[in-house]
Structure 1
Amino acid sequence: MAPMGIRLSPLGVAVFCILGLGVIYHLYAGVISNRLAAFRSAVQHCSLITRRTVDLRDLLALSVEAAIQGGREVKKVHEENALGQKSKGLTKEGAKEFVTHGDLQSHKKMFYLIKNTYPELTVNSEEHDNSVDEVAVWNRDIPADILQKIERGKEVSPESVTIWIDPLDATQEYTENLLQYVTTMVCVAVDGKPVIGVIHKPFTGSTAWALVGQGSNMHPRSSYSISPPKVIVSRSHAGKAQNYIQDAFGNSTTIIPAGGAGYKVLALLDPPPGETESKDQADVYIHVTYIKKWDICAGAALLTELGGQMTTLQGENIDYSGTEANKGGLVASVNVDHKALLERLPNWNPDKH
């Protein structure tokens, strides 16, 4: 006779498993709970350790390198006479707006140098190009003048950073061979405030930079005047600015038309290292129409570090996060009473001009 065996129905097996698991749970619930709590604590600790921040000295050095590399592309395209100029539409004021191969090549180099280094950062550029430059990699060298003046250790969260790049400021002048006005610019804003500004001049090789609160390679001039001032304005809108400025400061005011917002900010300062004094030195920079933030953010950072200001015509601070447009006009100065300057300006609505 075959030995008898105990056979359990599927239901019996299920009941047995449930009872067994219940016993195991009660035996080990305390241990498991403690282990889970320890695990959660370890995960939270690791996330704090691995949460990435960005050192502003590194970001300044990267910004300088991006502006210089973009400038090389701008210069190379011009030397090869390969501008490939075309219109990309009309400005808000109805003027033709141009883009060249120099703009696009510079954008590609500058944008991807930054994004390949810090992919988590928000980078806004005047131009757009869907082709990726995977070769653009920062070597992490820090220029000697930055090492000398800027301390490491000022770190910010990536979420607080907005970067504005202008791959070729003064494109119209670039096409007209007025190369003294051409710049490449990078600005880093933290929580909407400009803290790093870089303005590079490709055709002279000079680079102006500043990190707000830590230093700059630029200096204000020894004297300025607003009685009356020399006012630098856009070549494209000099006529609109003239009456406004003469109403503020009188008919004897010197008005200097010039191309490029970067160039106009530098006209308020001593020349960048390696350059001679410009004939277009000015006391105040005024813009009376709509202007994009990649045009002005770098200059705002430079002026702020040097004790100057850049505001709307109504004296409002400009937020360098969010949308690309500044609709309130512009007045920039250094080493003058900016409030007194604003009080002399007539009321102005840039949306109507």
Structure 2
Amino acid sequence: MIISEEKTSIGEESIEPYRENNYFKWQTSKNLIKNLPKNDRYLLSDLLVYVDPLDATQEFSEDLLEYVTVMLCVTVRGKPIVGVIHRPFFNETVVGLVDHGVYPENYRNFQQNAVDSPKVVIVSRSHGGKVKALLSDAFTTDANQFRIESAGGSGYKALRLVNRTADFYTHVTQLKKWDACAPDALVRAAGGRVTDLDGMDINYSVDRDDSLMLRRGFLASMNDHVRFLAKFRRFLPENGTKA
């Protein structure tokens, strides 16, 4: 099954031009394809694919193109195993295979935060003030250890964790599963941790209409996940839930 944010169905004749236009990209991806695990086999009925053809829609309308991504995620029985995040305006594609790593392998070669610098918590542009207040309440004795940065798009924020220019990505309100799945897979593939704000792994299965929505928030991190969550969630509305 394929679930997309867009409702329009796509026929074979519509796909053909994309095959031709992206032939060069497939040619340049040979190293990735060559390193794909050869022994993993799954039943087609166990697979669910999420597609978000335009993440950061609001930012796209504001011409803030650095935040815009296209995302794809493959799950097996509700667990993400492959995440792909593409930045169409920067010709950048990052693929994460859970338990196998991130490709391209040199994607992490960015300027990382110094060890003694504040931890960067990256949040939605619309929730920056709210999360900053929550962090101030949760970490009263060491608030200077954190710096809040607002950014658009789930995909962009996940990439910031993978390249180690941010440490935590949290979303304190509900979000759709197609916004979370590829970031979840990519962060896990890079060695990070992803849970809801109750500390539970997220199940991406779909068995009813409202199950496309994550109602318990979202937290992704590269380190100190349990410590951060234990303090942070005590100050969330309804002890970690937000409808």
TM-score w.r.t. structure 2 length?
Answer: 0.82
Q: Per-residue deviation at 1:198?
A: 0.1
Whole-Å separation in 2 of the counterparts to 1:317 and 1:226: 30
1:238 pairs with 2:128? yes
- The one-letter code matched in structure 1 to 2:162 is L
Query: Which residue is 1:135 aligned to?
Result: 14
Aligned residues of 2:101 and 2:189 also touching (Cα < 8 A): yes
Distance in 1 of aligned mates of 2:230 and 2:189: 23
What secondary structure does 2:3 align onto? strand
In structure 2, what is the Cα distance between the partners aligned to 1:145 and 1:131?
29
For 1:214 and 1:238, how far apart are their aligned partners in 2?
33
Q: Following TM superposition, by how much is the alpha carbon of 1:228 offset from its aligned partner in structure 2, in angstroms?
A: 4.7
Q: Which residue of 1 aligns with 2:221?
A: 333
Instruction: Give the count of matched residue pairs.
Output: 222
In the TM superposition, residue 128 of structure 1 has moved relative to its aligned partner by: 0.8
Aligned twin of 1:282:
166
Contact 2:217 2:241 in 1 (8 A): no
The alignment partner of 1:319 has SS state of coil
Structure 1, unpaired ranges of 5+: 1-121, 272-280
Name which of 50, 62, 68 aligns with 1:182. 68
- 1:346 corresponds in structure 2 to 233
Contact 1:225 1:283 in 2 (8 A): no
Q: Which residue of 1 aligns with 2:162?
A: 269
The answer to whether the 8 A contact 1:226-1:283 is kept is: no
Counterpart code for 1:345: F
Using the TM superposition, give the Cα deviation of residue 169 of structure 1 relative to its aligned residue in structure 2, in angstroms.
0.2
Q: 1:228 to 1:344 in 2, by over 3 A?
A: farther
Name the residue aligned to 1:247.
137
2:172–2:242 contact (8 Å) kept in structure 1: no
1:303 counterpart letter in structure 2 = V
Show structure 2 runs of 5+ residues with no match.
none
Q: Is the 8 A contact 1:185 1:199 kept in 2?
A: yes
1:125 aligns with 2:4: yes
Taking a change above 3 Å as real, the CA distance of residues 156 and 352 of structure 1, as seen in their structure-2 partners, is closer
CA-atom RMSD in angstroms: 2.5
**Cα offset, 1:320, TM superposition:** 0.9
1:263 match: secondary structure? helix
Distance 1:172 1:282, change over 3 A: same
Higher RCO (CA 8 Å, separation ≥ 6 residues)? 2
The share of aligned pairs that are identical, in percent, is 39
Measure the CA separation in 1 of the matches of 2:158 and 2:128: 16
**Matches of 2:95 and 2:219, distance apart in 1:** 20
Say if 1:149 and 1:214, in contact at 8 Å, map to a contact too.
Answer: no
Structure 1 residues 84-125: Cα deviation after superposition (integer angstroms, max 9, x where no partner): xxxxxxxxxxxxxxxxxxxxxxxxxxxxxxxxxxxxxx0111
Equivalent residues in 2 for 1:158-197, closer than 5 Å: 158-197=44-83
Larger radius of gyration: 1
Instruction: Give the residue type in structure 1 aligned to 2:135.
Output: I
Change (3 A) 1:154 1:343: same
